[in-house]
Amino acid sequence: MDGREIVLLVTVVLLVLYVIAIGGATATAIRIGEAWRRHPAKATTLGPGVGDEVVLQAPSLPIAFRRVRVVGWAVFPIALVLAVFANRSFAWIGPAAVVVMVGLNAFYFTAMQGMGEPLTLTKDGFRLGVRGRERSVRWVHVTDLVGARLGAFSGIRMSEPGEWQDPKLRPNVIFFRLNRALVRAPRTLLQRLRGFSYYDGAIRNLFGVPTEQLLHAMREYQRLAIDAEAPPFRRPRPGEQPGRS
């Protein structure tokens, strides 16, 4: 076996790893999404008066497939470069790899539109993500909450009450912005590509409740939390003694 055949063998092995990892995650996401859609929706009451905390479940990939997916994305660029540039003696491998990767990536990003993360609402803040990998945010650190319609690579901000909005567009995510003077919130490359780098995070609504209802409840939580804090989180109201909430 000469050097060209060894490079071809390595390329094929990496392509197989990529297909197994990303293809497995895609198939699992499709299966979980279909099962979630067939699951009867439960009536959920949202708001600060419901209880100490409200937990909203969402379909998500199991931890094992999340880890396997990392392997797939790690070998993806290596396999692509080898297939296109390092196998000139085997002209078929480059086009075949590109076709497989483009098709599988399209299925993957479409399937992942149906995946979300559990959301827990409390009086102090909210937690987003699976147990052990949650992101915790305090209401007093949130400066803005808006609804938006988000696709695989693009998004559009929804109008506020009283503003015109295309009736065909329904919000499916809630973006939040944090007070960057108090907390540090690095933004991902995907956030920058989508054009929502102004915000520090997104909550994909797959909880079975209207996004408008969830947004209203989160704003109410935020208002009550800020009212309960002492200055400088808010200015005293007229006639209110400083230091009292």
- State mean pLDDT over 171-176: 88
pLDDT of residue 114: 86
Please tell me the least confidently modeled range out of 83-87, 101-105, 131-135: 131-135
| 12-64 pLDDT tens trace | 999 999 999 999 999 999 999 888 888 766 666 777 776 678 888 889 888 89
Short-list 201, 229, 212, 227, CA closest to 172? 212
Instruction: Provide the pLDDT confidence category of residue 161 given band limits of 50, 70 and 90.
Output: low
User: In terms of Cα–Cα distance, which of 114, 113, 117, 141 is closest to 128?
Assistant: 117
B/e letters for 44-78, b = 16+ CB within 10 Å, e = fewer, are bebebeeeeebebbbbbbeeebeebbeebeebbee
- Chain-wide mean pLDDT for the chain? 83
* pLDDT > 60? residue 217: yes
- Per-residue model confidence (pLDDT) at position 150: 74
Closest listed residue to residue 201, CA positions, set 223, 234, 176, 181? 176
Q: What is the pLDDT of residue 245?
A: 43
Q: What is the mean pLDDT of residues 152-164?
A: 62
More confident residue, 129 or 155: 129
Domain ranges of the chain: 3-44+59-112, 119-228
Global pTM?
A: 0.72
